[in-house]
Amino acid sequence: MKKTLAVAALMSVAVAGAAEARDQIRIVGSSTVFPFATAVAEEFGKTTSFKTPVIESTGSGGGLKLFCAGVGEQHPDITNASRRIKKSEVEKCAENGISEVTEVKVGYDGIVLSNSNAAPQLDLTKEQIFLALAKTVPSKDGKSLIDNPYSTWAEIDPSLPDVKIEVLGPPPTSGTRDAFTELVLEEACEEFPVIAALEETNKDQFKAVCAGVREDGGYVEAGENDNLIVQKLEANHDALGIFGFSFLDQNGDKLQGSLIGGVAPTFEAISAGDYPVSRSLYFYVKNAHVGTIPGIKEYLAEFTAEKAFGEEGYLADRGLIPMDAAEREAVRNAATNLSPLSM
Amino acid sequence: MTDMASLMEDRAAAKVISDNLRKPVDWDSPKIARNIKKRYAAERRFKMYGLVAIGIALLALCMLATSIGSKGYSAFYQTYVQLEVHFDPAVIDPDGTGDPAVIGRANFDGLIKQSLRDRFPDVTSRSDKRDLYGIVSGGASYDLRERVLENPSLIGQTRTIWLISGDDFDMLNKGYIDPTVAEGDRRLNDQEVSWYNELVEAGAVEKQFHTRFFTSGDSREPELAGIWGAAVGSFYTLLVTLALSFPIGVLAAVYLEEFAPKNRFTQIVEVNINNLAAVPSIVFGLLGLEVYLNVMHLPRSAPVVGGLTLALMTLPTIIIASRAAIKAVPPSIRQAALGLGASPVQTVTHHVLPLAMPGILTGTIIGMAQALGETAPLLMIGMVAFIVDIPGGALDPATVLPVQIYLWADSPERAFVEKTSAAIMVLLAFLVLMNGLAVYLRKKFERKW
């Protein structure tokens, strides 16, 4: 009897609670933006009278899907993304009544190819990385496409060390992997005439060759957890790992970033745009929720304040690469005025 | 003819056997001695296999415990830095109102920065000052504010106070950052290390027991992050799970064992329950997302939804364990009760259930322990989230212990490594506690025939 009462009480509380208005910002989206968004949320919760926003790490695509599901308090107010919103997603949003979305660019994130300090630092070009990691590569004479024959770095270029190619990186579901494919593999593959020729003749094969990563053990999918890759690199000095710059920043005593195109992944080089493998980070705000859910405007103000995403802000301490002053000013204005995104 | 022949053969065989039986066994013959020796050896070998199996299991447990323990024990201690703080009335309460609202808004962060500048007066450049402020955690100003609000007479005084240090300093003090490697390769530069050495020489650095780890919610600052928010979330989630799955599970088991007719329908139900017990938990998460969030519109990330989802997952476990326990009650008890005039319901509630209770409770607690360690279904209903506030009820957004472990394991800051291991220890402690409770209840209610 007591138990039935308890269940009934719980149920009624649950129903009553669902009817109550939400007074807390809800954020979903990218796991790359997650460490920055949570830092802002915590600061926001501490310094204002609003509740600390709840932030879920769902991945960029998953976040945008939830975000575009509709207007209303059961849907999230903001979604983080480690890539720009796609046209198809904007249309999906519009279909569900979300016509006005504000885009806020947060800053940049570098993707590094790194190995243990105990091993020699590598100086790679994008083409060399492609030859090491792609599933199909041009043959030595450059005339045909063959399955990747390279098993050591020295086979690709005699100047590179004679160690086995073993790269630990994220799985295809990850935004980091998407960006790495786009910024390194796809760019490099156009440099090979035999692949570039495919673009005209066979677009599907061209795409498959450019994004195809070898599955014979040279590239190891190490899961979404970057800390795990860091630990594996410490143990295995021959291996390289692919992950976000903030993890290299935190583990500088154990790891070193490989030079890509002659540029080392340093804070300054990424910020200046010299380091070739960096991407922009964004978040998107549902304008219809501003005013209904308290605190959204203030959250935007906190995120775009100089002390947060500025040159010396607390997000830079966490590994975010800030934009230059003029761009920050433009982003801040757009965020304050909630200027809707048009695509 | 063939029958005759086989009969003769049988007779002959029987004669051989009976002859052998009549012969007394020579226990001292070498053949018997060999045989006995062989049997003893086999016995000993079998025991050895068992011991080796237990040894391997214990070794694995020891390795797990030492690897987690050695990484995580340091998280229970936190580095504190001693500083002389002047509670400047001009900063805290310029008009001398004594109003807690005014004091609460004061810039305590500024007070700490001022005392750091006073401690190291030769630091002047802007970037050096930034490094200097990193010695003390950003959370120290909230401690200071609480201190002043509790005791307003501090205003105007100068006190020597232990302040919680920043995570990089904490890591240096705990030996996780090696100050001997090249300057560019570590989080702290030479100047910061020299400040640290100066403070250590002055006796102003100390490790204290880290109560905050057990009392606060999640944070992006490792030194401020605590396990309490997740523990409370786990508590509410399990409460909802228990409140739903225990009565439903026990009633289903009682009906199936004691009242249900044995027909095709009950057989199908039985098979399905056994199947459900083996369904991957993520499937229940998808079900929870669809039913509780999309149809019933319950709040996302709330323990009530997590509890409802996990209840679905634990139900089969409880039903199967309860049925086994009810089956183990001797039929004579039921017959005696019925014979003395008890109704079937009275027989069940007065006799069968109390006797089956130890088994039912053990099954329930094992199901609960399983639910306590579950993350996959919670991912779908939004409980894998960064939540700072400690949930005040089953409807507030919350996360649970295993999710907290997952989130910390994925954080870039070095100091979260030890927090992760410490959180695993807390989760294991809860599991040991729950299993201990199961053993205790079984011992307490157990009845032998």
CA distance A209 to A189: 8
In this complex, is the C-beta atom of A250 within 8 Å of any C-beta atom belonging to chain B?
yes
pLDDT-derived band of residue A9, with 50, 70 and 90 as boundaries?
low
Q: Is the CB of residue B416 less than 8 Å from the CB of residue A234?
A: no
Q: Which residues of B touch A55 (CB under 8 A)?
A: 385-386
A window 203-222, beta carbon within 8 A of B: none
Test mutation, B411, B416, B418, B420, chain A, max A CBs within 10 A: B411
Q: What is the DSSP string of A103-138?
A: EEEEEEEEEEEEEETTSPPPEE-HHHHHHHHBSEEE
Q: Which residues of A touch B246 (CB under 8 A)?
A: 3
Q: Is the CB of residue A195 less than 8 Å from the CB of residue A136?
A: no
Q: Which pLDDT score, from 0 to 100, does residue B181 have?
A: 80
Q: Which of B187, B304, B388 shows the shortest C-beta gap to A45?
A: B388
Q: Is the CB of residue A165 less than 8 Å from the CB of residue A151?
A: yes
Q: Which pLDDT score, from 0 to 100, does residue B53 have?
A: 97
The owner of tokens 């240096």 is: B172
CA distance B112 to B82: 11
CA distance B50 to B56: 10
What residue in B sits closest to A116 (Cα-Cα)? Answer: B185
CA distance A79 to A224: 19
Tell me the residue type at A246.
Answer: S
pLDDT tens column, A25-41: 999 988 889 989 999 99
Residue A9, classed as helix, strand or coil, is: helix
Residue A219, classed as helix, strand or coil, is: strand
Q: Which of B184, B407, B412 shows the shortest C-beta gap to A319?
A: B412
In this complex, is the C-beta atom of A41 within 8 Å of any C-beta atom belonging to chain B?
yes
CATH number attached to the domain at A24-109+279-337: 3.40.190.10
What's the average model confidence in pLDDT over A91-106?
A: 91
Q: Could B385 and A56 be called an inter-chain contact, meaning their C-beta atoms sit closer than 8 Å? A: yes
Q: Which residues of B touch A225 (CB under 8 A)?
A: 409-410
Q: Which pLDDT score, from 0 to 100, does residue A59 have?
A: 82
Q: Which residues of B touch A250 (CB under 8 A)?
A: 187, 412-414
DSSP lists the bridge partners of residue B207 as B79
Distance between first and last Cα of chain B:
58
Tell me the residue type at A20.
Answer: E
Q: Which residues of B touch A4 (CB under 8 A)?
A: 247
In this complex, is the C-beta atom of B75 within 8 Å of any C-beta atom belonging to chain A?
no
* A21 phi, psi to nearest 5 deg: -70, 150
CA angle (B369 as vertex; B366, B373 as ends), nearest 5: 145
Task: Report the gap between the CA of A14 and the closest CA in chain B (Å).
Answer: 7
Domain architecture of chain B: domains with CATH: 76-210 (no CATH), 228-445 (1.10.3720.10)
What residue in A sits closest to B109 (Cα-Cα)? Answer: A47
Q: Which residues of B touch A57 (CB under 8 A)?
A: 384-386, 407, 410
Q: Which pLDDT score, from 0 to 100, does residue B123 have?
A: 84
Q: Which pLDDT score, from 0 to 100, does residue A16 have?
A: 45
Q: Could B300 and A74 be called an inter-chain contact, meaning their C-beta atoms sit closer than 8 Å? A: yes
pTM value? Answer: 0.80
Note down pLDDT in tens along chain B; length 449 residues.
556 667 777 777 777 777 767 777 788 888 889 999 999 999 999 999 999 999 999 999 999 999 999 988 899 999 999 998 888 888 888 787 777 777 877 788 888 888 888 888 888 877 788 888 888 988 888 888 888 888 888 888 888 989 999 888 899 998 888 888 877 777 788 888 889 999 999 888 999 999 999 999 999 889 999 999 999 999 999 999 999 999 999 999 999 999 999 899 999 999 999 998 889 989 999 999 889 988 888 888 899 999 999 999 999 999 999 999 999 999 999 999 999 999 999 999 999 999 999 999 989 998 999 999 998 899 888 888 999 989 988 888 999 999 999 999 888 888 898 999 999 999 999 999 988 988 898 888 877 66
What residue in B sits closest to A4 (Cα-Cα)? Answer: B247
Distances in Å between the Cα of B246 and the Cα atoms of B272, B318, B365 are: 19, 7, 10
Asked if residue A146 has pLDDT above 70, the reply is: yes
Q: Which of A56, A227, A244 shows the shortest C-beta gap to B384?
A: A56
Diameter of chain B by CA atoms?
127
Helix axes A34-47, A296-303, angle to 10 degrees: 120
Residues 6+ away with beta carbon under 8 Å from A166: A217, A218, A220, A236, A238, A239, A240
Q: Is the CB of residue B171 less than 8 Å from the CB of residue B177?
A: yes
Task: Report the gap between the CA of A75 and the closest CA in chain B (Å).
Answer: 9
* CA-based nearest residue to A126, from A32, A262, A24: A262
CA distance B420 to A152: 36
Q: Which residues of B touch A247 (CB under 8 A)?
A: 412
Q: Which of A38, A55, A253 shows the shortest C-beta gap to B186?
A: A253
> Which part of chain A is CATH 3.40.190.10?
24-109+279-337, 110-278
Name which residue leads in pLDDT, B307 or A10: B307
Beta strands A167-169; A240-244: pairing state: parallel
Tokens describing residue B385: 């989230």
pLDDT-derived band of residue A4, with 50, 70 and 90 as boundaries?
low
In this complex, is the C-beta atom of A312 within 8 Å of any C-beta atom belonging to chain B?
yes
Q: Could B293 and A74 be called an inter-chain contact, meaning their C-beta atoms sit closer than 8 Å? A: yes
Asked if residue A43 has pLDDT above 80, the reply is: yes
Name which residue leads in pLDDT, A204 or B216: B216
Tokens describing residue B308: 């409802």
Distances in Å between the Cα of B107 and the Cα atoms of A306, B103, B135 are: 19, 9, 18
CA distance B322 to A84: 53
Q: Could A74 and B187 be called an inter-chain contact, meaning their C-beta atoms sit closer than 8 Å? A: no
Complex ipTM = 0.74
Residues 6+ away with beta carbon under 8 Å from A112: A242, A243, A244, A245, A247, A248, A257, A258, A265, A277
Q: Which pLDDT score, from 0 to 100, does residue B448 have?
A: 67
Residues 6+ away with beta carbon under 8 Å from B340: none
DSSP code of residue A289: G
Q: Which residues of B touch A52 (CB under 8 A)?
A: 387-389
Mean of the per-residue pLDDT values of chain A: 85
What's the average model confidence in pLDDT over A57-86?
A: 89
Residue A38, Cβ density class (10 Å: 0-12 exposed, 13-18 middle, ≥19 buried): buried
Q: Which residues of A touch B409 (CB under 8 A)?
A: 225, 227
In this complex, is the C-beta atom of A56 within 8 Å of any C-beta atom belonging to chain B?
yes
Asked if residue A7 has pLDDT above 70, the reply is: no
Q: What torsion, rounded to 10 degrees, do the Cα atoms B291, B296, B298, B304 define?
A: -60
Name which residue leads in pLDDT, B20 or A227: A227
Test mutation, B181, B388, B396, B417, chain A, max A CBs within 10 A: B388
Q: What CATH fold (topology level) applies to the domain A110-278?
A: D-Maltodextrin-Binding Protein; domain 2 (3.40.190)
CA distance B362 to B30: 53
